[in-house]
Amino acid sequence: MDPPGPGDEGEATQPQPLEWRFAQVFGERAAGEDVQEVDIISAIEFDKSGDHLATGDKGGRVVLFERTDARDQNASRRELERQDVPVTRHPEFRYKTEFQSHEPEFDYLKSLEIEEKINKIKWCQTANNALSLLSTNDKTIKYWKVQEKKVKRVAVMNLDSSQNVGSSTTAIASTSSYKAPLPNGGCSDKFDCVNNDLSFPPGGYPSLRLPVVTSLEANPVARCRRVFAHAHDYHINSISNNSDGETFISADDLRINLWNLEINSQSFNIVDVKPTNMEDLTEVITCAEFHPSHCNTLAYSSSKGSIRLIDLRQSALCDNHSKIFEEHEAPGSRSFFTEIIASISDLKFSRNGRYILSRDYMTLKLWDLNMNSGPVSTFQVHEHLRPKLCDLYENDSIFDKFECCLSGDGLRVATGSYGNIFRVFGCTPGSMEATTLEASRNPMRRQIENPARPTRTLASFTCGVRRGGENQGVDANGNSFDFSTKLLHLAWHPTENSIACAAANSLYMYYA
């Protein structure tokens, strides 16, 4: 019998597979157009309401989008729901603003160049109609506040040339009798000085306009409130906000630090896996995230494929975990690539906080916090690439870090793959839903012929190491080996079946 899944509340029927449709795209490149490295999207994040979306790129910029159809359709949606009419809501976003979050830096003490690339973006709680978010590169975290500001401008002020022809003769006449001023500011002629220089036509100048200040439309303005720096010796791989709305964590390869949003001068080191002798180092931290509702609980993953759950109430230094989640490999299945592909690149809590979704190189795994003997579900993402691990290792693609996400109702999970495709799996017990979509205007154009829920096989294999492995190829089933295009970053709308994903510099939106 299958273990309970995140959407299992005792329902007898399986949810129908979703039919995905293209919604919109931002920054779509033309055929043959080269993509600049700085324009490649490196982070995507919805806020809790789903009305705002933020993306970060390798150029250090953060771009914000806002939902435009929500206000218009709320009333009609409620009316249709009262009539038990199925509602298909087409999400629409528009560009809101962008700002330069990080600049390239150079650490002269370590002779290290620090890229401006945005590694992660996390939304903070909204206050006073201002949007707040955290963004980080390899070393520095910044706290931004984006607020609508009315821009004021002075209206155009000049003399109307069509109405001051007669006045010009008066001005010329007055200047002809101009008296040179004295050094003390006086005038050599006490009578003519004032009368001639300040002579105005009767009724004044009809075309003279006084300056008028006008208020234009409110524009979003981004302001950096605080900078959290000098706390990580290694590259920051993740940040996560706490449910208390006051603190957040930042994680690098060996340490996790706890910060207060209002204090940037100090942080508390809560996890430190650095050994006394660096030669004894066997694993590093790859990702960390707070529990969505328990402010004392967080989880972090490692390069060995394990997930550790820690409780901040137990100790100030949380080197000892309260629970560990890991899958033990089958005997005789170990190979040269086993440890590399076991490294977890991303993890996410489900919205109710009971499940954790993790992504390693080949699979998605769903873990139940109440059962740490093994994952409740394992989803094969691109099993057809297993015979190509040698080539993937040669061109460093095996070290690509794919993200994962869960739907708000916990019924489905999603992650990306090569060839700009992403896969959506149903995670209820017995579900066979496994949809492959391409980041394009026709997401159903390409389908990979794989079993919907294949069993995981870790049989050992042999392959010869070849230099200069090709980036593209096709196997016997027609599956693409295009390693140059990859869909690393995607996010699921918190309350609707809507996915945003990044393919190079393009942001694609889909709904079901």
Q: How confident is the model at residue 480 (pLDDT cuts 50, 70, 90)?
A: low
Asked whether residue 295 carries a pLDDT value surpassing 80, the answer given is: yes
Collapse the DSSP code of 109 into the 3-class scheme (helix H, G, I; strand E, B; otherwise coil) and give the result.
Answer: coil
For domain 21-29+39-153+214-511, give the fold: Methylamine Dehydrogenase; Chain H (2.130.10)
| Tokens at 258, concatenated | 């706890």
pLDDT tens digits, 83-140: 554 555 678 999 999 999 999 998 888 888 999 999 999 999 888 889 999 999 999 9
Average pLDDT over residues 331-359: 91
Q: Write phi, then psi, for 388 (nearest 5 degrees).
A: -105, 15
Q: Kindly report the three-state secondary structure assignment for every residue of 329-354.
A: CCCCCCCCCHHHHHCCCEEEECCCCC
User: Cα separation of 347 and 300, whole Å?
Assistant: 8
Task: Using alpha carbons, list the distances in angstroms from residue 290 to 121, 175, 351, 411, 476.
Answer: 14, 77, 12, 21, 43
Average pLDDT over residues 422-449: 85
> Where along the chain do its domains lie?
21-29+39-153+214-511
| Residues in CB range of 84: below 8 A, 6 or more apart | none
Q: Write phi, then psi, for 196 (nearest 5 degrees).
A: -85, -40
Beta strands in 137-185 (DSSP E): 141-154
Integer Rg of the chain from CA: 31
- Helix residue spans in 104-182 (DSSP H): 165-176
One-letter amino acid for residue 171 of the chain: A
Residue 495 Cα to chain centre, angstroms: 17
pLDDT at 234: 94
User: Cα separation of 225 and 261, whole Å?
Assistant: 10
Asked whether residue 359 carries a pLDDT value surpassing 90, the answer given is: yes
Residue 344: CA atoms inside 13 Å, Cβ hemisphere, count?
Answer: 31
Beta strands in 350-505 (DSSP E): 355-359, 363-368, 377-380, 404-406, 412-416, 421-426, 434-438, 490-492, 498-503
Helix (H) or strand (E) holding 236: none
* Burial class (CB within 10 angstroms; exposed 0-12, middle 13-18, buried 19+) of 279: exposed
Q: What global pTM score does this model have?
A: 0.79
Q: Which residue has the tokens 């449709």?
A: 21
pLDDT at 429: 87
User: Cα separation of 141 and 133, whole Å?
Assistant: 10
CB 249 within 8 A of CB 270: yes
Q: Give the single-character DSSP code of 215.
A: E
